[in-house]
Amino acid sequence: MAKYHVYEDNEYYDTKGYISTIQSEETDDERDEEVYSLDCEMVYTRNGSEVAKITVVDQDLDLVYEQLVKPASEVIDCNTRFSGLRLDDLVGVTTTLEDVQAALLRLCSAKTILLGHSLEHDLIVLKLVHRTVVDTSVVFPHRQGPPYKKGLKKLCEEYLGKKIRVNPGGGHDSREDASACMELMKYWV
């Protein structure tokens, strides 16, 4: 039960503001060799689902970038059960999606490998076109095949013997989720 009806179909019609990572002209661009894992937390706004937090970790699980993001539209539901965010967390946040996009372009070239779980959702809310991706929901497929996907929590238990998201009702932790994806891919490799 919620105060407002929420929806996510803005990803199909809100096509303005997309950016794309670009091929580096330098032959020794360090970004080309980087591998990062990324996770976003979303909230529901009057315009649908929007990013409210982004976390990026490197191969050593060190935090590379983490930022709360001010949604462009009025927040109607923080989706706390999943996002872990509350309205109070967003008070005073001034970082915009465009600021985050600029930071990601400084961090990533077109050759930088981005990992994530159901990464398409993160890339859509970031309005980022990036083709060098590894998605743990694809690497570790559901036994019934698409459109079914194994959840990240289940994958961590099954392959890493590790429990994540143990805080009931507290929502997801984007750093924990990004790190879990990196750990799963290290396991796979």
Segment 145-154 shows an average pLDDT of: 92
Percent of the chain topping pLDDT 70: 92
d(CA 168, CA 148): 24
| pLDDT value at residue 27 | 67
Sketch out the chain's domains with CATH numbers: 30-188 (3.30.420.10)
d(CA 85, CA 100): 18
| pLDDT value at residue 179 | 97
- The pTM (predicted TM-score) of the whole model is 0.90
Segment 27-40 shows an average pLDDT of: 86
